[in-house]
Structure 1
Amino acid sequence: MTQPGARVLIVDDDDGVRARLRSFLDLHGVAADGAADGESALRALREHRYDAVLLDVVMPGIDGLEVARRVRLDSDVPILMLTGRSAEADCVRGLELGADDYIAKPFRPRELLARVHAAIRRHRGASERLASGGLEADVETRTARLFDVPLVLSGIEFDLLVALLRHRPLVLSREALLQRAGRNAATVTGRNVDVHISRLRKALGDDPRSPRWIKTVHGEGYVMLSHDVVPD
């Protein structure tokens, strides 16, 4: 669904990528401006209001990660990082700095469009439902269900569940989970995350030794496993 009046900023040093994205977004009712480097992007964001930013990670001068860090100092505009498929560490770092999503290159234009619309809807406060197999979370009502059975979760457990569902299949570090769950690292430590993940697993009936939902990636963090088929 097209977001009415949506305007995005495309930040990429590849002229061809910017041109193709602008044409595709315009065709689907989304106005788009372009910036070829970090300095131009920061200037455009100071001078104009955007509903979302598509931000390439690797650029000359100020890279995308530094742009994201600076933007988050005084703006909550949705940021979607554009990364190479082998740059998962950049994805995680971007999320830790406050990016809302990531899209791996080469990407499918319709998937990118769907993610842009989803980010704008979230920012505008529209309802959002996330699901993987029989696990569902309604962000607006802050309720979760497992095969239609309501789950009893604390506030932070629900926020961690949403972060894992929203960013699957990306492995999220403890720091990225705290950032995406909207928690202050000064009050919730990385070890606290482990405790809350353990409680979330218990609510899901998940065995960490043979996980169906949340997998620990040692030395990196946690990932929500995807399920396309619901078991009988």
Structure 2
Amino acid sequence: MTRYSRQISLPEIGEGGQEKLHKARVLIVGAGGLGSPAALYLAGAGVGTIGLADDDTVGISNLQRQILYTENEVGQLKVHCAAQRLRALNGNIEVHVYPFRLNRENARRLIADYDIVVDGCDNFSTRYLISDSCSALHKPYVYGAIQGFEGQVSVFCYGDRPRTYRDLFPDETATLQMPAPDNSVIGVTPAVVGSVEASETLKLICGYGEVLAGKLWTVDLRTMQSFVLLL
């Protein structure tokens, strides 16, 4: 347990919390800007099984913010490179890779094997799919999104009055018809938001603190203003 001594010494974690982390199974959908820091911190914390779902390859423009990857890995599948990095960080965990895109045929089957789903994706349709699947399967969905200097995080499908992604964007048809968001982003924005997603995941697993269920946390890194809104 020496490896995890700094967090085990926290009364909110302890040896009992570390055992919960070891037994936990977390699926990260999207191994990009958000998924990179989330995966690294969850692996470092000792989450026993991490799944990575992404069909994309590493591009040179990814390296500005997707800290799982190096120049030597450009052109390779992200999930394979990410798995190698996570196993190098922590050889005591299992990493499963799914080099395909989530769709209506595979989503529920894949999510059913995990305890929690972490959002590392970048489009509305996949988020609706994750939310609907997690709601049907009663699995917590840790949502995160970024643009520019701004980000937001929430925990859907969890608690006594679980909210879903549809509570944030009720009109799916209108939402999917919206223009694609500008993909401009400063590299630290996904680092901050992905780390908060990891923090919410750790709270869900270990059972400490207040998770962002029924709430939306927002941050603007230009002004360092952050708010928690009730959903």
TM-score between both structures, scaled by the size of structure 1: 0.40
Q: Which has the higher contact order (CA 8 A, sep 6+)?
A: 2
Task: Please give the TM-score of this superposition, normalised by the length of structure 2.
Answer: 0.40
> Based on CA coordinates, which of the two structures has the bigger radius of gyration?
1
